[in-house]
């Protein structure tokens, strides 16, 4: 009987976790949007501007994980922030929904 109780509790927990939604990631409001930016380490081409990655740059994937430059797509819709030297310090690779929201915001 104890094993059945543990199994029932485990299934209940599994169902509860499956129904829990994930919070949308928090993207900075002061970052710049770039459609179809080219990520070619150590450079980022956003529109007509080619910027250099800062030594401490972080690239966040669509799942909000920090990824290495070699794992980044060569072309993506992104948000990016520059540091005091004008170098790219942070890049957020956007999902299609996030990119659509930023495109609509620019209009």
Q: Measure the CA–CA gap between 36 and 44, rounded to whole angstroms.
A: 11
Q: Is residue 10 part of a domain?
A: no
Q: Is residue 91 part of a domain?
A: yes
The domain tally of the chain equals 1
pTM over 0.85: no
DSSP state of 29: T
Residue 66 domain boundaries: 32-106
Per-residue pLDDT tens over the stretch 59-70: 999 999 999 999
Per-residue pLDDT tens over the stretch 55-104: 999 999 999 999 999 999 999 999 999 999 999 999 999 999 999 998 88
Q: Is residue 42 part of a domain?
A: yes
Tell me the pLDDT of the chain averaged across its residues: 85
Q: Is residue 82 part of a domain?
A: yes
pLDDT at 53 over 90: yes
Q: Measure the CA–CA gap between 107 and 86, rounded to whole angstroms.
A: 26
pLDDT at 17 over 80: no
38-77 exposure pattern, b = at least 16 Cβ within 10 A, e = fewer: ebeeeebebeeeebebbeebebbbeeeeebeeeebeeebb
């Amino acid at each position: 009987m104890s094993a059945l109780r543990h199994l029932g509790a485990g299934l209940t927990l599994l169902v509860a976790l499956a129904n829990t939604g994930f919070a949308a990631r928090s993207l900075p409001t002061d970052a710049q949007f770039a459609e179809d930016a080219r990520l070619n380490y150590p450079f980022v081409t956003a529109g007509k501007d080619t910027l250099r990655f800062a030594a401490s740059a972080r690239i966040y994937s669509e799942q909000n994980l920090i990824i290495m430059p070699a794992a980044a797509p060569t072309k993506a819709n992104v948000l990016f922030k520059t540091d005091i030297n004008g170098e790219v310090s942070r890049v957020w690779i956007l999902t299609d929904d996030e990119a659509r929201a930023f495109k609509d915001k620019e209009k």
